[in-house]
Chains A and B, each alone.
Chain A
């Protein structure tokens, strides 16, 4: 049997495989060149970028929880101009398909950052961060209101020719309605989910485990909720859905794709195992061969809701 075709299409953007490094979990990508061939990934999403540099929150910034972690990094970053001049040339040279995660404290800032990126060479798409739970101003304020989501996506849509992919928060009652608002505003795809707002307390001191008190929960602990949300969005919108949430191996990635994801992002597992990428790719190929499927894209949304047969112990 021929090697199966792992390529997927996010609108006009064709990726050689569906594995994308999630924002905030892969630095600016260049940090990982020493362990991963960046061109072998479907794509790399940069750390979230504002117009200017940001310091982020004081440490401690992360705490581990069962099968997961809570983070409040606070979007420490170098700003879009330094990213374009210092990182983008290296990513281009490495053959990475670079998706830039764009943040803003105001609608204008989103638009301005996207304009800078539109003029730069080597940006494949824009992921709009309207879902970071860890900063007070901007971001999630847009992502938690249908009108705010519509407004920021349509403003950015008018400002750039690049594919626009809003990243949705799970901290809403009905995430699919937000995917619909993004689609109506002209988004090319949606990615979900960002982290779940969470907190952990040091019971010995009764103080917070991280300096920001609240943070975002990620890792295998959130995967079943993320799978459910991807399935809900897949049923409601026509644009591609990128699945994110606790993927650790090929089985997990396949679960998201069956639920309707066209591509998937891996974040927290990259911290645990920076060599995860080739393992998942091998696992995808193995699965397709076992199931005699020639094209991975044929798997998307093939979920069969027929109840399972009773299992007898």
Chain B
């Protein structure tokens, strides 16, 4: 399933092409990093930080949002969907064109795209929209029927809807204040859809807060559909060096996938399943089989 060889990452001092503020908290930061863009596959991430800053010291992981292209079709860079939350993301929100950031990537295990007649359902919560723009393009290229289930706090925080519509993606929306789409969480319309699903089946892709990922993975399993979830953990390096971003996976699931055996304990421990197989989400993920993860 994951045997396609990935390109090694590169590190670019990338000039900011644009920093489009979508709202008070969200911006799309476009970076001149063509070598990163050309190598990126949907679901992979980059490690980013403003140049020459030691506080905060480390880079931050971001899913590649868009692979940017000139009118000629040549890849010119990548963008990231940034949400102001901490010191780093505040700094990134404030960047202006001409500023420079370090951009290391692409990193991590990408999504595996399905093809028609299987449908693709992408479930995004908030900033979890990020990996689905590139995935939608891949799915559109193979004419795979694709739906985006997209939940946000308010209607103002539903972004890039026209981007997905232009690529033939069906939209199902939800807002926590009921301002647009279903009132509440996106998992409710997702479950309704799973109940009336066509027999060809679907691959459920998800990215968002971990409780949402858990709910989506459990729903998919309940209706016997496979899922791929993109997780985000506190990450130090992005390359497997520091063992910060570990996440528990089931022994059987991870072995079946044959990924990153380094992390897997042999079973000699008395430890419970939750801690038995802590794998590095940077190199074993960020995309995991939803059935493979152990939820808290």
Q: Are A271 and B58 in contact (CB under 8 A)?
A: yes
Q: Which of B234, B237, B244, B247 contacts A274 (CB 8 A)?
A: B237
Q: Which of A60, A78, A275 contacts B234 (CB 8 A)?
A: A60
Q: Are B241 and A271 in contact (CB under 8 A)?
A: yes
Residue B4 at the chain A interface, CB threshold 8 Å: no
User: From B54, which residue of chain A is reached at the shortest CB distance?
Assistant: A67
List the B side residues contacting A27 at CB < 8 Å: 239-241, 243
Question: Interface-forming stretch among B93-101, B120-128, B141-149, B271-279?
Answer: B271-279
Question: Interface-forming stretch among B74-82, B191-199, B221-229, B261-269?
Answer: B261-269
Please report the C-alpha to C-alpha distance between residue A181 and residue B252 in the assembled complex, in whole angstroms: 48
Residue B212 at the chain A interface, CB threshold 8 Å: no
Residue B203 at the chain A interface, CB threshold 8 Å: no
Of A35, A64, A268, chain B has the most CB atoms within 10 Å of the CB of A64
List the B side residues contacting A275 at CB < 8 Å: 11
Residue A66 at the chain B interface, CB threshold 8 Å: yes
Please report the C-alpha to C-alpha distance between residue A63 and residue B58 in the assembled complex, in whole angstroms: 10
Q: Are A61 and B244 in contact (CB under 8 A)?
A: yes
Of A31, A86, A220, A275, chain B has the most CB atoms within 10 Å of the CB of A31
Residue A42 at the chain B interface, CB threshold 8 Å: no
List the B side residues contacting A268 at CB < 8 Å: 57
Q: Are A272 and B59 in contact (CB under 8 A)?
A: yes
Please report the C-alpha to C-alpha distance between residue A78 and residue B269 in the assembled complex, in whole angstroms: 12
Q: Are A34 and B244 in contact (CB under 8 A)?
A: no
Q: Which of B56, B241, B275 contacts A25 (CB 8 A)?
A: B241
Q: Mark A65-76, 1 if CB is under 8 A from B, else 0.
A: 011110101001
User: From A73, which residue of chain B is reached at the shortest CB distance?
Assistant: B243
CB distance from B98 to the nearest CB of A (A): 22
CB distance from B105 to the nearest CB of A (A): 11
Q: Are B57 and A73 in contact (CB under 8 A)?
A: no
Tell me the count of chain A residues lying within 8 A, CB to CB, of chain B.
39
Please report the C-alpha to C-alpha distance between residue A137 and residue B5 in the assembled complex, in whole angstroms: 42
Q: Which of A52, A59, A78, A219 contacts B244 (CB 8 A)?
A: A59
Q: Are B58 and A31 in contact (CB under 8 A)?
A: no
Q: Which of A31, A34, A76, A272 contacts B57 (CB 8 A)?
A: A272
If the complex has contacts A25-B242, A71-B244, are A271 and B237 also in contact, measured as CB distance less than 8 A? yes
User: From B8, which residue of chain A is reached at the shortest CB distance?
Assistant: A34
Residue B40 at the chain A interface, CB threshold 8 Å: no
Q: Which of B236, B241, B263 contacts A32 (CB 8 A)?
A: B241
CB distance from B4 to the nearest CB of A (A): 15
Within 8 A of A (CB), among B186-245: 233-234, 236-237, 239-245
If the complex has contacts A61-B234, A62-B242, A71-B242, are A274 and B104 also in contact, measured as CB distance less than 8 A? yes
List the A side residues contacting B247 at CB < 8 Å: 59
Residue A53 at the chain B interface, CB threshold 8 Å: yes
Q: Which residues of B are in contact with A by a Cβ distance under 8 Å?
A: 8-9, 11, 49, 54-59, 102, 104, 233-234, 236-237, 239-247, 261-263, 265-266, 268-269, 271, 275-276, 278, 283
Nearest 10 pairs between A and B by C-beta?
A: A31-B240, A271-B237, A34-B8, A62-B244, A67-B54, A271-B236, A27-B241, A27-B240, A73-B243, A66-B55
Q: Which residues of A are in contact with B by a Cβ distance under 8 Å?
A: 24-28, 31-32, 34-35, 47, 52-53, 55-56, 58-64, 66-69, 71, 73, 76, 78, 86, 219-220, 268, 270-275
